[in-house]
């Protein structure tokens, strides 16, 4: 590969070779929901497609338990707790979240011991405050310490408008989240743990001779909906974070502050209908697929394969995918050794002049250092390459 070739490492790739022969219809305005705030998110990219007051800090009520359950399943995957572990039900869990509290409860007896897996089902399906507190205490030692874990996790996930004071969502002036943040959390739950995500689609749970149904009405009305969680307090109103899959595309909705149980389902359904009706998703590049080769200096081999660390999937208004263009920019001075997964370039996808997606290109293989004379010769070439560029 000569120097002139190196200077032409900007490779433009038409994702769809022929432009669409039809004009793209104007995108209809999204529905205006009777809710305090809401977000429609594309699951594949995390892009917000529709939002109204999406970053407003509001009481999340039992949507809080999405974070409680997320941390619990993370601890299970790390091996720090086991699904068969027996968790003691403290007086705090019983008094604050039990039957006498008047809130959502799993009806855990005081001083009983309950399996982690049962508590997890009780949190997700029954929205049990007692189950949430008991599991929080088991994981972190106290509910306050668990709240610290919740806030650390929120920061890691990029939930910029969330702060948690408890594991339940019971009202507290410093306990808040946003529709956008809850959509971010839902996406993490879906992406990271398919096994436990399946619990969110269960319509009921039977424990200790008590059967309780899932309050997510969309699970009964729409077979494409497979989660996630409802919430309600007088201050928060009726809230729902939901997700659905149709024709291979997944959407996430987050709706805060509707008037009643029926309204939160109906308003959420409007967002889902709009998203699937007017947007489409396509995977252009698969994780690990070779997209280009980059020259390597001072290496045992002259080239390294470049690709993506994750699938490149995009969701756009229907008819616009055909107009996308992608450009790949490879680092012209890659010097061995190179590790598999090292960033060696970037890819940008544009719609006209707008960048709609960017991602790192990574080395799909390792390249060791070359021999002495290869390194010496390439060092000389690199010197002159830098001199004239």
Residue 354: CB atoms within 10 Å: 7
DSSP readout, 298-343? SBSSSEEEEE-SS-EEEEEETT-GGGEEEEEEE-TTEES-B-TT-E
CA dihedral 364, 369, 373, 378 (to 10 degrees): 50
3-state secondary structure of 218: helix
Burial track 164-188 (b if 16+ CB lie within 10 A, e otherwise): bbbbbbbeeeebbbbbbbbbbbbbb
Angle, alpha carbons 132-117-177 (nearest 5°): 35
Report the C-alpha gap between 190 and 246 in whole angstroms.
Answer: 15
Angle, alpha carbons 137-141-143 (nearest 5°): 50
The closest alpha carbon to 238, from 210, 214, 269, 262, belongs to: 262
H-helix or E-strand spanning residue 77:
helix 64-77
3-state secondary structure of 162: coil
Strand 334-335 relative to strand 37-42, pairing = unpaired
**Residues annotated as catalytic (active site), given as ranges:** 62, 65, 127
Binding residues: 229
The closest alpha carbon to 267, from 186, 190, 179, 199, belongs to: 179
Residue in this structure with the two tokens 């307090």, named with its chain if needed: 233
Binding residues for substrate: 229
Contacts of residue 311, Cβ cutoff 8 Å, sequence gap at least 6:
44, 283, 285, 286, 287
């Amino acid at each position: 590969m000569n120097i002139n070739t190196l200077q032409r490492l900007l490779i433009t790739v038409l994702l769809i070779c022929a432009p669409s022969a039809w004009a793209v219809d104007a995108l209809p305005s999204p529905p205006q929901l009777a809710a305090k705030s809401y977000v429609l998110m594309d699951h594949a990219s995390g892009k917000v497609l529709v939002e109204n007051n999406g970053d407003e800090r509001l009481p999340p009520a039992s949507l809080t338990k999405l974070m409680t359950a997320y941390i619990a399943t993370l601890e299970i995957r790390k091996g720090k707790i086991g699904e068969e572990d027996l968790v003691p039900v403290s007086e705090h869990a019983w008094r604050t979240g039990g039957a006498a509290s008047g809130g959502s409860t799993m009806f855990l007896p005081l001083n009983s011991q309950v399996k982690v897996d049962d508590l997890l089902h009780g949190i997700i399906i029954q929205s049990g405050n007692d189950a949430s507190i008991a599991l929080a205490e088991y994981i972190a030692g106290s509910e306050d310490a668990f709240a610290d874990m919740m806030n650390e996790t929120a920061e890691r996930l990029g939930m910029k408008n969330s702060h948690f004071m408890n594991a339940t969502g019971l009202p507290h002036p410093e306990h808040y989240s946003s529709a956008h943040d809850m959509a971010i959390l839902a996406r993490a739950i879906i992406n990271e743990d398919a096994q436990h995500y399946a619990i969110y689609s269960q319509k009921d749970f039977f424990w200790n001779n008590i059967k309780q149904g899932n309050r997510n009405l969309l699970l009964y009305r729409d077979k494409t909906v497979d989660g996630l969680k409802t919430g309600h307090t007088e201050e928060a109103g009726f809230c729902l974070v939901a997700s659905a899959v149709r024709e291979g595309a997944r959407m996430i909705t987050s709706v805060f502050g509707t008037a009643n149980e029926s309204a939160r389902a109906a308003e959420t359904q409007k967002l889902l209908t709009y998203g699937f009706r007017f947007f489409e998703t396509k995977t252009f590049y698969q994780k690990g697929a070779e997209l280009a080769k980059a020259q390597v200096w001072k290496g045992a081999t002259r080239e390294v394969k470049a690709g993506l660390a994750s699938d490149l999937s995009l969701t756009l208004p229907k008819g616009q995918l055909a107009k996308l263009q992608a450009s790949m920019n490879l680092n012209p001075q890659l010097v061995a050794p190179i590790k598999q997964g090292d960033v060696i370039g970037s890819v940008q996808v544009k719609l006209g002049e707008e960048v709609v997606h960017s991602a790192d290109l990574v080395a799909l293989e390792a390249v060791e250092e070359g021999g002495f004379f290869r390194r010496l010769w390439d060092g000389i070439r690199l010197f002159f390459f830098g001199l004239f560029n």
